[in-house]
Structure 1
Amino acid sequence: YGFIHRALQDLIVRQYGEKEWKRIIDKAGIQEESRAFLLHQSYDDALTVKLVATACEVLGSRMEDMLEKFGEHFFQYCVDNGYDRILRVLGSTLYDFLFNLDALHDHLGSSYHGMNAPSFRCTSSLDGNIILHYYSLRHGLYPIVTGIVKTAAKQIHNAEVKIQVISVSTTSKGKCHVQMLISQANSSSSNATFNSNTAITTNNKVRIKVGTFCQAFPFHIVFNRDLKITQAGNSIRRVLKLPADLPTANIHFNTLFQLDRPQMRFNFKNVISHINIVFIISTINELSDSAAYQHQPQYTNHSQQLHRQQSQMVYVHESDSMLFLCSPRFSNLEELTQQGFFLSDFPIHDTTRDVVLMSHIQRNRRDLVQLREQATNELQILEIKLRADKKRTDDLLHSILPIRIVNQLRLAPRDPIHERYAMVTVLFSDIVGFTALCSSSDIDPLQVVRMLDELYLSFDELCNFNDVYKVETIGDAYMIVSGVPDPCFNHANKVISMAFDMMDVTKGVLSPVDKSPIKIRIGIHSGPAIAGVVGQKMPRYCLFGSTVTNASKVESGSQEGRINISETTKM
């Protein structure tokens, strides 16, 4: 989900800066419109791995170190986003916290479809420490768990722990199975992480009939050490179509159900070893086709849906049996009806009724939140595109009109813009022999256009370098001015410097006739002028007055390869 990617982004930005995160997503090839990860949207695992691998490459970090650092930050990110309350109530000790971690992930997996949440279970080592078993379809990501457990132990239980990976293997179902030895570094006795069982006193005079018990607990199963089912609740019997004489029916638990959590081999001994944790089981689809049911066809499961049961195992000492107290898991009302259940199947004291109704409401709310996130993301993408379009428009306008004039037009588009300048310097230039060049039948017009493009591109760069304003080009004539639109006292010096640079540039531009450098002549004159925007359909910023006319005449009187300067400019 996008929550993972947001946490990774937060880690990189906080520790390395926004620029490094941009380098990572650029190198990972994430498109601009996909960079705003949505919290409630699922993403392909390959994208997550690619982001982490790219981060390691860009930051020069080992994959294991980066994953553990991410695990540490991910826990803190969950706390910062308000999930610390649910984490703090998982258990009063680290052992209880880890024991209930699997139930939390199962809840998240049922709430967020496609999550593929990992599974956890705990056992004890010979010296009393904890062995955490981690199962996941995502291989190689277990260092994240190491970082999470270390941070959780420190922040929630104020305990410094050491974690050692004992073994890494693959289960028959293709899941990665990692065993981690967890010991407390700051505790004199690691047994402090384990809960002690407290003996209770029972009243043996209180009796309850089997029929009453099956009605009060409609979702329960009792099985013996051979996993043979000897008793079941009324709702379980109805949905699975179990016979009334269960003790003689010889139906085994493994023929009806498969264990989803915890990840272990299901037998009586292992159940007793994990008696205090939540068990998640599901019915086996198409039981009539299984080998275990071919000798008892009258007890078939006609439902094609997968029933999931969340349960607690209770050891019944009197009959040496296991009482499986369970409750079906549904994500919405549609799933409940599809699997053949009704709200009346649940006893009044069972909060599953409320949970199903609330989950239906929460699902609608989550859908609305996801739609809102998608709409927000689309608006952000549109905003980015609008900014890019605006920049291109501004660049185009600034190439036609001065920046100050563009801003004035935006504020008052209908107001005429005209300004009078006391003293400016104007430059005209043209190419010697250009008319004859264009009229020659031996010259391709495209060659002339390419020559002008090469020349004017160089002149445009020189305008920026010398801080002068290009007014317009007409054919081979190139007109610039200094002192407009921003007045300055050294306008003549800027234009003269520009003229010398123009002469130097022309030495590298060859004529298409004889491949020799082209020749230009330049005229410069200074004086007052009027400037303004003319036209509405194709507005231009133009200069008017005798100074412009005289500058054109000074250019006409210049010689090939020479700069002609008027007396006014010299002064």
Structure 2
Amino acid sequence: MSYGLIHSCVKEWVLNNYGKDKWKDILDISGADDEQTFLNFQCYPDKATLDFIVIVVKHLEISLEYFLEGVGMHFVDFTIEKGYGEMLHTLGRTFHAFLDNLDYLHCYLMTTAFPGIVMPSFACTEDDEDPDVLFVDYYSRREGLEALAIGALRGCAKNFYNLSVRFEVMWTKAEKINETEVVNHVRFKVTQVGQIDSPTLDLVTMERAKSAHDEVTSFPAVDQLLELVWRTPTFNYENVERFKNLVFQFAVEPRRTAAALEREKDKTDRLLHSMLPPEVAHKLKSGDRVQRRASTAPPVGELSLLFSDIVTFTVIASRCQPHQIVQLLNEMYTRFDDATESNGVYKVETIGDAYMVVGGIPSRVPDHATRVVSQAIDMVRLAQEVAHPITGAPVQIRVGIHTGPAVAGVVGQKMPRYCLFGDTVNVASRMESHGVPGRIHLSADCKRKLDEERGPFAVEPRGGIEIKGKGHMETFFVASVGNSEAGGEPEGGTSASNGAAGGSVRQKESSVCRLQ
């Protein structure tokens, strides 16, 4: 396709060089309409344009090459008259720079004033031996129009750089650019033969540095995500090198991109849900500022809250290297985290060796006490799979659980956290700190809730004890689960009759370094 701008340029060239009578004869022979056939911004098929050119050349009795070169030179004057001169002149300070940037102009015109137009491509290199010589590679899907390109480039050199240049065709060949299309490749030798009114042409003579990209032959990541829409050569290194000044335009391939975006969204969601409850994360993503309501939110209702800590952790921390502590906690907490998924509870946070779990929020469930006690039993068992970094024996933990009301919400704007507030948090912490190694210590409220849920746990009374900040409280231990014991032998020789539940202790080497 070509625009009527070319036909108007042909008309002006004929009128300027051969007069009105010749032009009228050409119209009569071709059957063209002087008013309708030459609308500047109307598209015409290439065949219609070429057929008209054949009539012009035949009637004027001139060669096709003479006609094309003359029209090419006049086309520059024609575009200047139409107001495009300043835009063309800004392409480069020198003729070499102009040639290097010509493809960018074609890309701009194709996407703005002349959509759908098929433009040629140009690439320019220097002659290492003669600074007045340039080699210009011209690529076009239209065969036999190199004389038109010569005329246009000569016109640009004259009008914008006051430069007289000579063109020699070095060779012409057809090159395959994809599975179905062939492009006509012509190499010109362009020699500066004089200046009309300007300094010597400032040619760039720097040799292109060899790049690591010279070995690249394909671009798989680009091919997978994007579709080349302009131009149509196969997107490989050979064509990128061939059309080095060409702007390649890509369109996002909807299905593949949608799938890739969905995978990335899943990754982001998994990361977000590892830090915030999914229900809370959805609210935040939808613009519901949960943290604004945390301080005024009504109690979320009854929930069960668990705290645990590592027995003798202070001694371990004082006698181990920091990286050993990190390895110890990572080994144990990774196991605990997996257990929260199977038990349907939510990990609130870890602070040092303290691990905090809640059941009943953010998802409301009726059996939250049973779920949290199941988590506690798993934690006691899983802790024994990690070796004590000092003694080599299985690690023991204390666990405390309390059931009661609390306030929950997201606090902070940077690194927001889902937090619980209320006396239930304090009591659960006291259950843990007043507990016994290897045992699961329950408040009376938690036992009551377990009874209501008819869970599979045997619970034994511990008796009344003084709890800091709360006074005298009746508390309980989890004794067994069905026919299985619920814990291991407590550290320091505490007997199984004192409530240490559980199966056999598996002493296995941990990746945590033992002290010698």
The answer, yes or no, to whether TM exceeds 0.5 is: no
TM norm structure 2: 0.42
TM norm structure 1: 0.38
Q: Which has the higher helix share?
A: 1
